[in-house]
Structure 1
Amino acid sequence: MPTRRRVQDEEAKQGRVEFSFPLLIVRIKTFTRVYDRLGAFGASRPVSWAAIIGMPILASFGLYFIFSSLLTLLTTPAAREIGRELGPQAYVLLPGINPYLPILYGWLAIIAAIMVHEGAHGVIARSLGFRVKSSGLLFFLVIPVGAFVDVDEEQMAKAKPKNSVRVLAAGPGANIAVAIVCLLGVLIITSGLTPVVDGLYVFDVMEGMPAQDAGLQLKDVIISVDELPITNFDDFKAILDDKNPNDTIQITVARGEKWNDQFSTTAKLTEHNGSAYLGVSVGELLTEQRLRTYQKLATETLYLHFMPPTLASGLVPFSEALKDFYTHTLGENWHILANIFFWLWFVNVNVAIFNALPIYPLDGGRAFKSVLKSVLGRRAGGRIASRLTTVVAVILLSAIVMTIVLPFIM
C-alpha cells in the first residue's frame, strides 16, 4: 500500500488550489486521511462486494427505464405531448436549468450526492491498496458544485478486474444506500401527517357580491354552511341549489395562520341566471383524501417517488402548494426536512442509476469494459472489449437522445 507520505508529496506537487476557468479546484489533504481511516475498517471490503452486486441491478433498472420510455413515446401520442410540455431541460439534473429542480434543495442534494459518490470511490480504493493521488472540492467560480477523488489510473489498469470493479461500483453503491435511507425518511415523515383543515378553499371573492358583503376573504376555507359540514364542492352546490335568491345562509370559514381562527357570518344570496348566487370561486382541498391517496401509493409503487413535488404539487403533501394544510409533531418546519430527504433521495438514486449504466466513461461503462477484458483475456480481448464497450455506449446514448428528441419530431 502506498505510504501516506507519498500521497502528500503528490498533492504538494499539484498545489492546494488550481483555477481553470470557470472551475476552482481545492485539494484537501484531510479528505485523503479520512479515506485512509475509513478504508482501514474491515467492513469496507464486504460493502464493496455488495456494491458490485448492486451495480448490474441499478443498470438493469436504468436500461428498463430508457427503453420502456422510448417504446411509450413511439406508441403513445399522449406521452409525446407530455414530453413537449416538460421540455428537454427537464432531463437535465441541474437546478436553474431544470425548472422542476428547486435551487436550494437541488444544489444541496447534488453536492451531497457527488461527495458521497466520490468519497466512496476513495474509501474503497484505499481499502484495496490503490493510491489516491489527490482529493478535494470543486467550485464553479465561488459556488461549491461537488467533490473529486483522483485514484491512480495506472494501478487500476494493472489490478485484478474484481478489485478495480469494486472501486468503480462503490460510487453508485454509496449513492443508492443514501437514497434508500432518505426515502425511508420521507415515508416516516409523511406517515405522521395530520390535515389542518378541510373544506372549500376560497381563491376569488367577486366584488359587490354577497360573499364580499358577508366578509369572506381570499384564502378562507369554507368548513360549513347552515351548520352542515362542507368537504367537497357537491356538498356546497347541493345546499345552494335548495336556496332561492334573497335567502340568507350562515357560513363558517377557517382563516388566519394555519387556519386556526373560525369566522361565522351570514350572506343574503343574490340572483344569477335564475339561481341563488353567493359570488365566490372555490376549490376542493380534500386534504384527508389527498393524504390517504399519497400514503397508499407511497407504499405500493416506487414510481411515485420519482415524481418531484414540483411536478405533482396537488398530490405530494410536502409540496409548496399543500404543505400549509398539514401539521406534524416535528413542528412547523416539518416540510423542510421532508423536502431535504426527498431531494437527497431523488438526486442520489438518479446519480446511482445513471453512473451504473454501461456507458463509457461512466463507472458502469468502465466496469463493463474491465469485465469484458477479464472474460475475453487481456491480450486478445482488449481490442474487442474496447469495441464492444463503444458500441454499447453509442446505442444507449442514442436511445437517451431519442427519448428527449422524439416528442418534438413526431
Structure 2
Amino acid sequence: MGFLESLALYLIAWALLVLVAYLLRRDLVKGLVVIMWSSERAAQFITKISKRLSFVPLRIYVAVALLLFLLAAYSPYFPIPAGLGVAYMPGFAYLLVGSTYQAAAALAGGASVQEAALIGGQAGAVPLLPGITIPWDQLPYIALAVAVGVALHEFLHGYAAVRFGIKLKTAGVFSAFFVASGAFVEPDDKELKESSLVAKLAVFASGVAANVALALAALAIYLIGVNLGLGGAVLTNINAPTHQLGLEQGDIVKAVNGCGISTKIAVPAQLLSVLNKLVGNPYGAPLCDPNQTITLIIQRGSNELVQDVPAAALMRGAEILGLVYNGPLYRAGVRPGDVLTAIYGCGGVYRIYSSGQLLQTLQNIVERDLCKPGDEIIVTVVRNNTAINYTVILGVNPSNTSRPFFGIYTNGLGEIGFNTQLLNISLFSNTLFVKIIMWFFLINLGLAMINALPIYPLDGGLLVQSLLERALGERGARLAIYVISLAFAAFLIFDSALGFMGGIYKEVFNLLK
C-alpha cells in the first residue's frame, strides 16, 4: 500500500470514529478534530480509590516518583531490552539534543536527509501514525499498551493531588487524530497553585513515574519470558533462499548452535546478529569455516526440530553497499550492490566468503605490503546472478603513501538480513509474547520520555516551571519556561521531521512487527 493510500485509510478511519462519537453524544466531538469525554463522577472515583491507598508513606512516594521521573529523560542511561539481556540508552533529553546537533552538522556538511537521519538517530522521535509509520496489524498491541499506560499515568496524577489535599474537579479521555490520545485529571487550579512546592513536584512527576514503572515492569517480564523460551524469530514469509535452507512458513527459530556459539534466540534481530557474527559480518574474523555446519533449533507447530545449515550457504561473498566515488574499485566498474567473491593478485588468490573476510583480507594485504600503489589486481563480483571480472589499478592510501588504496568504506558492506536478500529482517516477526511486551515497554517509555521533557504544558514543563518560580518568581519562571519549551519543541519537531523524511521509522517498526 502506497503512502497516499495509507493516508486516505488513516483519515477515513478517524472520520468514522468521529461520526460514531457524534451520533452517540454531540458534545463529545470538538470541531471534528478532538473527541473528548470528561466527568465529575470519574474524578470522584479516582479520589475514593486514592484515599484507600493512602497507607503508602508520603515521603517515600514523593522520593520514588521524582527518581523515576528523572530516570525517564534526565539520567545518563536507561535500560532497554536487548536479545536475552539488557542494553542502555541515554536519557531522552541527552538523546534529543545530541541527535539534533549531529544531524544538523551532517546536513550542513552536505549529507543527505537519509544519512543525517542515520547519523542523528532520529527514529525514536517519529510519531505513531496508523497505516503510515506503523502497520495496522500492530494497532491492537499499541492500543492495549496506551490504554493501560495512560490510565495509570493519570490515576497517579490524581493520587498525588488527593494525598496533598488538592480536590479533583473532573477526569476523562480524549483523542486527536489517534496521535494525541490519552486521559486526564483536572485538579482544582487554585488549590494546586497555592500548594507547596513538594506537592506540585509530586503531582507533576507522578504520571511520568507511572509510565517508567510500567516500562521497567515490562522489561523484567520480557527478560523472564525470553529466557524461558517465549521469544524467537517467527518466519512469516518464504523466499527461495530461506526455502533452500530448509525453513518453512511459521517456523520459529529458538536457538543457534555451531562454530563455538550456542545461544537462545529472543527476537529476529538477534538471530541475524548471531548469524552475522558466525560469518564475520560486517567486519571481523568469521567464527565459521565454509565447510562447517550451523544448527538452528526450530519450533514447527508443536514439534521442536533440528535444522542443519551449511555455513557456506550464508557465506556468499561481500555485498558492497558503498564505494569511494571515483576510487580504484569504482573506476574499474564495480558498483554498490555488487557482491565481491574473489581477489586475484597481491601475492595470491583470495576467495571472499563474507564482508568480514574481505576486510580481513584487505588488512592483511596492506599490513604485509603484498601490493603497492599502482599495482593491478582482478576482482570478481556477482551482479544479477552473473560473475564479472574487473581489472583494478590500486590507488595511493591518503594516510600512508607507500600503501595501496582500494576505495571501499569499512561500514559500506552488507550484513545478513539487514542489507542482503539471503535472509531479510522483513521475513521474520516476533512471537506474540514479545510483540505485546515490547510494545508495552516502548509505549510507556515513550509516554514517559515525552512528558518528562521541559516543554510547557507537558508534565516536565510544569515541574520545571514550579522549580523556577522559587528562584525567578512567577513572571520570570513563565518567561524562562516558554524559552526552554520553544527550544526543546524545535528539537523534537526537527528530529521527527528528519526521522520521517529519512524513512528511519520503516526500519524501526520492521523490527517490532
Q: TM-score, normalised by structure 1?
A: 0.59
Distance in 2 between residues matched to 1:65 and 1:142, nearest whole Å: 26
Decide whether aligned partners of structure 1 residues 183 and 28 sit closer, same or farther in structure 2, where only a CA change above 3 A counts: farther
Q: How does 1:208-287 map onto structure 2 within 5 Å?
A: 219=249, 238=291, 257=301
Asked whether the 8 Å contact 1:186–1:342 carries over to 2, the reply is: yes
Instruction: Report the structure, 1 or 2, having the larger helix content.
Output: 1
Are 2:434 and 1:338 equivalent residues in the alignment? yes
Equivalent in the alignment of 2:445: 349
Equivalent in the alignment of 1:19: 28
Distance in 1 between residues matched to 2:93 and 2:178, nearest whole Å: 36
Q: How does 1:163-182 map onto structure 2 within 5 Å?
A: 163-182=199-218
Q: CA deviation at 1:364?
A: 0.8
Equivalent in the alignment of 1:68: 98
Q: CA deviation at 1:182?
A: 0.7
Distance in 1 between residues matched to 2:179 and 2:497, nearest whole Å: 31
Match of 1:135 among 154, 171, 174: 171
Asked whether the 8 Å contact 1:120–1:174 carries over to 2, the reply is: yes
Q: CA deviation at 1:197?
A: 11
Q: How does 1:119-198 map onto structure 2 within 5 Å?
A: 119-138=155-174, 145-193=181-229
Paired AA for residue 43 in structure 1: V
Decide whether aligned partners of structure 1 residues 50 and 406 sit closer, same or farther in structure 2, where only a CA change above 3 A counts: same
Greater shift, 29-38 or 117-126, is seen at 29-38
Paired AA for residue 361 in structure 1: P
Structure 1 stretches of 5 or more lacking a match?
A: 1-15, 206-210, 222-228, 240-252, 264-310, 324-334
Distance in 2 between residues matched to 1:160 and 1:35, nearest whole Å: 20
Equivalent in the alignment of 1:204: 240
Asked whether the 8 Å contact 1:356–1:364 carries over to 2, the reply is: yes
Equivalent in the alignment of 2:316: none
Paired AA for residue 125 in structure 1: A
Paired AA for residue 211 in structure 2: N
Decide whether aligned partners of structure 1 residues 192 and 170 sit closer, same or farther in structure 2, where only a CA change above 3 A counts: same
Match of 2:428 among 321, 339, 361: 321
SS in 2 for 1:43: coil
Asked whether the 8 Å contact 1:136–1:148 carries over to 2, the reply is: yes
Equivalent in the alignment of 2:330: none
Distance in 2 between residues matched to 1:57 and 1:196, nearest whole Å: 30
Q: How does 1:327-406 map onto structure 2 within 5 Å?
A: 335-376=431-472, 381-405=473-497
Are 2:126 and 1:91 equivalent residues in the alignment? yes
SS in 1 for 2:28: strand
The percent identity for this pair of structures is: 21
Distance in 1 between residues matched to 2:290 and 2:250, nearest whole Å: 18
Structure 2 stretches of 5 or more lacking a match?
A: 1-24, 75-90, 252-258, 260-274, 280-285, 308-417, 503-513
Q: CA deviation at 1:119?
A: 0.8
- Cα deviation per residue 1:188-209 (whole Å; 9 max; x = unaligned)? 11112289999xx97328xxxx
Match of 1:33 among 2, 22, 45: 45
Decide whether aligned partners of structure 1 residues 342 and 54 sit closer, same or farther in structure 2, where only a CA change above 3 A counts: same
Asked whether the 8 Å contact 2:215–2:441 carries over to 1, the reply is: yes
Distance in 1 between residues matched to 2:461 and 2:180, nearest whole Å: 27
Equivalent in the alignment of 1:267: none
SS in 2 for 1:93: coil
Q: CA deviation at 1:217?
A: 9.0
Q: CA RMSD in A?
A: 4.9
SS in 2 for 1:341: helix
- Cα deviation per residue 1:283-332 (whole Å; 9 max; x = unaligned)? xxxxxxxxxxxxxxxxxxxxxxxxxxxx99x9xxx998154xxxxxxxxx
Are 2:103 and 1:59 equivalent residues in the alignment? no
Are 2:62 and 1:48 equivalent residues in the alignment? yes
Q: CA deviation at 1:120?
A: 0.7
Distance in 1 between residues matched to 2:426 and 2:302, nearest whole Å: 16
SS in 1 for 2:469: helix
Equivalent in the alignment of 2:81: none
Distance in 2 between residues matched to 1:56 and 1:195, nearest whole Å: 31
Equivalent in the alignment of 1:278: none
- Cα deviation per residue 1:371-400 (whole Å; 9 max; x = unaligned)? 111223xxxx22111111111111111222
Distance in 2 between residues matched to 1:197 and 1:94, nearest whole Å: 25
Distance in 2 between residues matched to 1:159 and 1:256, nearest whole Å: 61
Q: How does 1:99-114 map onto structure 2 within 5 Å?
A: 99=134, 102-114=138-150
Higher RCO (C-alpha under 8 Å, 6+ residues apart): 1
Question: Aligned pairs, how many?
Answer: 304
Asked whether the 8 Å contact 1:219–1:255 carries over to 2, the reply is: no
Decide whether aligned partners of structure 1 residues 195 and 120 sit closer, same or farther in structure 2, where only a CA change above 3 A counts: closer
Asked whether the 8 Å contact 2:141–2:435 carries over to 1, the reply is: yes
Distance in 2 between residues matched to 1:78 and 1:160, nearest whole Å: 50
Equivalent in the alignment of 2:14: none
Q: CA deviation at 1:351?
A: 0.9
Decide whether aligned partners of structure 1 residues 346 and 371 sit closer, same or farther in structure 2, where only a CA change above 3 A counts: same
Distance in 1 between residues matched to 2:435 and 2:250, nearest whole Å: 26
Asked whether the 8 Å contact 2:233–2:428 carries over to 1, the reply is: no
Distance in 1 between residues matched to 2:463 and 2:180, nearest whole Å: 29
- Cα deviation per residue 1:166-198 (whole Å; 9 max; x = unaligned)? 111110011101110011111111112289999
Distance in 1 between residues matched to 2:178 and 2:485, nearest whole Å: 34
Q: TM-score, normalised by structure 2?
A: 0.49
